[in-house]
Amino acid sequence: MCSIKIESVVKEKNRMGECPVWEERENALVYVDINSQKVCRWNSVTNEVHSVSVDARVGSVALRKCGGYVIALGTRFAFLNWETESVTTIAELEQDKPNNRFNDGKVDPKGRFFAGTMAEETEPGVRARRQGALYTLFPDYSVVKQLDQVDISNGLDWSLDHRTFFHIDSLAYAVHAFDYDVHTGKIACCKVLYQLEKEEQMPDGMCIDAEGKLWVACIDGGRVIRIDPETGKRIQTVKLPASRITSCCFGGKDYSEMYVTSAYDGLDKAALATEPRAGEIFKITGLGVKGIPQYSYVA
């Protein structure tokens, strides 16, 4: 086994750090702080964090082929121009669901942006059920609803052969696998791939590695777990120095580093006192496996 090393690389704490994306052309990690309504970029060379504030909770960010980013914020898809800090709306959804917002999202192998919605809590612990959906933003800016009646649309990725789509609905406490048609972008035939165990708590973000195994961030479980989609078994657990682990991605010059986001929102004063690293971003090295480059939205 390689010796695994975990270090905190972004000390600027996030209320709800999410959706890390490695941007090769900038040597940077791009991510969102949902509850602070910010898109952030950490430069791995200078160690500086720059952020752009937006006017709604931003659930996800992805690279655009032509530069800048595509984001899912509030209940709309938009482009973010990093230099001018301008946001251009491309599609508005779920106007009839004022308590909903976008959550996690990712670009598929053909350059389409997938992102899902969820209902916000109306008071602590109170959330309308099955209000969310999963959408695909196509390169022509058209939007297709892929799934309905989702609780909290969360982590997502595609198998290396592009024939399977993996998706997490957090309140199902499971990872699901769908048949995926890479040519049309359509998903079908859902099955449960992995049901989380009690101590793993709730699944959040997810990414795939170069061996085709899935890594799932466990919010309130303080860990990422590695799952073999062939067997549906957990094959590795890596515990982190924060409980609210939200998402993960591979990055660095050869994609051998894993970056893991976390949150401090949801922790009370007593918990915060025992978790000085809550909300920071961690880098895991020595996993002995690499990731694959992120896809970019083609338009």
Catalytic annotation, residues: 204
Mean pLDDT of the 121-141 span: 93
Q: Are 42 and 251 in contact (CB under 8 A)?
A: no
- Residue 202: pLDDT band with limits 50, 70, 90: very high
**CA–CA separation, 115 vs 106, rounded Å?**
6
pTM: 0.97
Q: Please name the helix (run of DSSP H) or strand (run of DSSP E) that holds residue 271, with its range, or none.
A: helix 269-274
Q: Please name the helix (run of DSSP H) or strand (run of DSSP E) that holds residue 18, with its range, or none.
A: strand 17-23
**CA–CA separation, 207 vs 262, rounded Å?**
15
Q: What pLDDT score was predicted for residue 1? A: 54
The region that residue 52 occupies, defined by phi over 0 for left and psi between -120 and 50 for alpha, beta otherwise, is beta
Q: What pLDDT score was predicted for residue 261? A: 98
Q: What pLDDT score was predicted for residue 2? A: 64
Helices (H), 112-268: none
SS3 track for 150-169: ECEEEEEEECCCCCEEEEEE
Q: What pLDDT score was predicted for residue 156? A: 98
The share of the chain scoring above pLDDT 70, in percent, equals 99
Q: Write out pLDDT tens, residues 55-79.
A: 999 999 999 999 999 999 999 999 9
Q: What pLDDT score was predicted for residue 237? A: 98
Handedness of CA 247, 105, 204, 34 (dihedral sign): positive
- Residue 123: pLDDT band with limits 50, 70, 90: confident
- Residue 8: pLDDT band with limits 50, 70, 90: very high
Domain locations in the chain? 5-285
- Residue 126: pLDDT band with limits 50, 70, 90: confident
- Residue 238: pLDDT band with limits 50, 70, 90: very high
Residues 6+ apart with CB under 8 A from 241: 6, 8, 275, 277, 282
**CA–CA separation, 78 vs 35, rounded Å?**
18
- Residue 145: pLDDT band with limits 50, 70, 90: very high
CATH architecture of 5-285: 6 Propeller (2.120)
Q: pLDDT averaged over the chain?
A: 97
